[in-house]
Amino acid sequence: MTTVQAIVAHGAKDLRIEHTETGAPGPGQVRLRMAAGGICGSDLHYYNHGGFGAVRLREPMILGHEVSGYIESLGEGVSGLAEGQLVAVSPSRPCYDCRFCHEGAHNHCLNMRFYGSAMPFPHIQGAFRETLIAEASQCAVADGLTAGEAAMAEPLAVSLHAVRRVGGMLGKRVLVTGCGPIGVLTILAARRAGAETIVATDLSDFTLGVAAANGADQTLNMKTNPDALHPWHAEKGQFDICFECSGSPPALAAAVPAMKPGGVIMQLGLGGDMTLPLQAMTAKELNWIGSFRFHSEFHTGVALMQKGLIKVQPLITQTLPLTEAVTAFDLAGDRTQAMKVQIAFD
């Protein structure tokens, strides 16, 4: 066993760097020397509030699920991977044996083990640690990418899953509400899928600037101009699709009048229960669809980055060492200067 450092949440505003142990990889597993980890919105909820909605920390939990690492050693029977390779590590570990896994809905696995999740108890410990034992099937070879880019595979997969669930995007007018990392990655994914016009809304000029630099045709600050979407209300609304990435009820309420009848609202943002303007949605015959996590899209995202079809490096605004984890988490919550903050483990 090897003793390594890990980032552990004990409760709201109680983040500690503690020691944990890592052993040797078993059959079908690899041991990784972690390279980079991105701080996600769910990590921030655990750090700032001790959880989100009904999901609460009930024991100390290692955070983190957006990670990459270098293979240190291979377990018995592992093929297609080699020591020294950089890999993006999917945090999604379905059982492959429940009814949802048999139906191909692996993201709804009844026995899901998703890194850094307090949904089950005991909690599923996360990947913000110096070394990690992972299943070989979780690893996507990230040749040609930086460690930081490889760690972006997880949030990119979230956006790709949502775009896939919406369906045909070619020639569509798209509204993206919320320009955090998921919102901007959704802009990139929607454009790659053929969206003709993309308008993005947020409350921060900084995040809107990142959205504009990454493909949004128009950006609207709803804080300084609450009526910014009014021109899109004409003729019962203009947008075919809305990707709601903020988890904010006011953002969704503001989007509905700008949606054309029969349009689709794809909900990605998670922030607790939301009140929906159901009467207005019903009158427009809008389709509301939820999107949760991902599965096969993880490897697709890595391939798109490797081919240069989606570029994520501009979204990585700060990288701090493991020893400055608290500073990194505080910075990650500041939407006036941070998009994606990552932890460097090596």
The CATH number assigned to the domain holding 335 equals 3.90.180.10
Tokens of 318: 């700060």
Residues 54 and 131 in one domain: yes
Residues 73 and 171 in one domain: no
Residues 38 and 139 in one domain: yes
Where helices occur in 256-337 by DSSP H, the ranges are 278-283, 297-306, 325-332
Rounded to whole angstroms, the Cα distance separating 304 from 228 reads 33
Residues 44 and 116 in one domain: yes
Over residues 207-254, the pLDDT tens digits come to 999 999 999 999 999 999 999 999 999 999 999 999 999 988 999 999
Q: What is the pTM of this model?
A: 0.95
**Residue 26, SS3 per DSSP:** coil
Over residues 294-309, the pLDDT tens digits come to 999 999 999 999 999 9
Tokens of 76: 């018995």
Residues 248 and 272 in one domain: yes
Rounded to whole angstroms, the Cα distance separating 228 from 263 reads 20
Residues 253 and 273 in one domain: yes
Residues 65 and 143 in one domain: yes
Residues 125 and 257 in one domain: no
Residue in the structure block whose two tokens are 């004990």: 10
Rounded to whole angstroms, the Cα distance separating 47 from 11 reads 7
Q: Domain range for residue 54?
A: 2-152+312-344
Residues 174 and 286 in one domain: yes
CATH of the domain at 211: 3.40.50.720
Mean pLDDT score across all residues of the chain: 95
Could you write out the DSSP letters of every residue in 99-161? HHHHTT-GGG-TT-EETTB-SSSS-B--S-BSEEEEEGGGEEE-TTS-HHHHTTHHHHHHHHH
Q: pLDDT above 90 covers what percent of the chain?
A: 93
Over residues 122-142, the pLDDT tens digits come to 999 999 999 999 999 999 999
Over residues 254-304, the pLDDT tens digits come to 999 999 999 999 999 876 677 888 999 999 999 999 999 999 999 999 999
Residues 191 and 219 in one domain: yes
Residues 88 and 135 in one domain: yes
Confidence of residue 155 (pLDDT cuts 50, 70, 90): very high
How many domains does the chain contain in total?
2
Looking at this protein, which amino acid is placed at residue 106?
H
Over residues 50-88, the pLDDT tens digits come to 998 888 999 999 999 999 999 999 999 999 999 999 999
